[in-house]
A and B are shown apart, each in its own frame.
Chain A
């Protein structure tokens, strides 16, 4: 399908590992998220996703998020990301977001719940991961 490449970016101390695979339709963000310039860091992710959504049509996709900590700018960025997926889900695509949180990290669970409350069409799952 199209020329869309497998998007892979290594984690840094303040930015997550990115692994978006257009063949398996499995996307993941793992690590910490408080980059210096959030919109600049995530711009390639949004570009990739826009193209993916236009070419992948109605194939089911899964986004796994395992984020230890994210700052307030990342929070806004993630909401924009989920809104984009929510619109695709409303248009008929099967979209699953798995919000994975360390069972000892109450903050990560609460944050997941707050995103879950704010989306309507995505299958948004909260998955506890043993420490």
Chain B
């Protein structure tokens, strides 16, 4: 066997990665992985509030991957490809995800994240409520509230980056410290 799974395992453990998934993401994965992570955190007595925050950010991120990657879409279900990661350092947890996105969407995503990163808790709450009453943007496939929700659960500004893959596609990654 050429694949050195042990070396992946050791690298991840050393870096405090609790969960790592790379591959197709469907609603079934959101439900299974999200619920498993939440249960594990509750069983390890990380507290209900922290477990719910990690679960919530995971669900928003994985549903974004499905929504915006849409590798395979039938009338009843969609699937995207991406990575998700939950890591821990001491009492702190972070949730990160990465997935290819169309370069046309880059500016809009930057603008959304920069907007929420510049807001205080109270401003975020007001913005969330205001956007909740508005219809979502044309390019949004959910309610357009995902990044606001993540920012409200986060203890620091959201970190993100885009790495160009080719003329049409970038790799988008976002990391949320809860």
Interface residues of A (CB under 8 A from B): 13-14, 34-36, 38, 69, 71-73, 75-77, 79, 83, 104-107, 114, 117-118
Is B143 in contact with A73, judged by CB distance below 8 angstroms? yes
In the complex, residue of chain B having the shortest beta-carbon distance to the beta carbon of A83:
B133
What residues of chain A lie closer than 8 Å to B136, measured between beta carbons? 76
Is B143 in contact with A107, judged by CB distance below 8 angstroms? no
With A38-B143, A71-B59 already in contact, the answer to whether A14 and B27 are too (CB < 8 A) is yes
- A sample of 5 inter-chain contacts (CB < 8 A) reads A13-B35, A36-B77, A76-B136, A107-B56, A118-B129
Task: Give chain A's interface secondary structure class.
Answer: helix
Is A36 in contact with B27, judged by CB distance below 8 angstroms? yes
Is B129 in contact with A36, judged by CB distance below 8 angstroms? no
Interface residues of B (CB under 8 A from A): 27, 30-31, 34-35, 48-49, 52-53, 55-56, 59-60, 63, 66, 77-78, 125, 129, 132-133, 136, 142-143, 145-146, 148-149
Is B132 in contact with A34, judged by CB distance below 8 angstroms? no
With A72-B143, A72-B149 already in contact, the answer to whether A107 and B35 are too (CB < 8 A) is no
What residues of chain B lie closer than 8 Å to A77, measured between beta carbons? 143
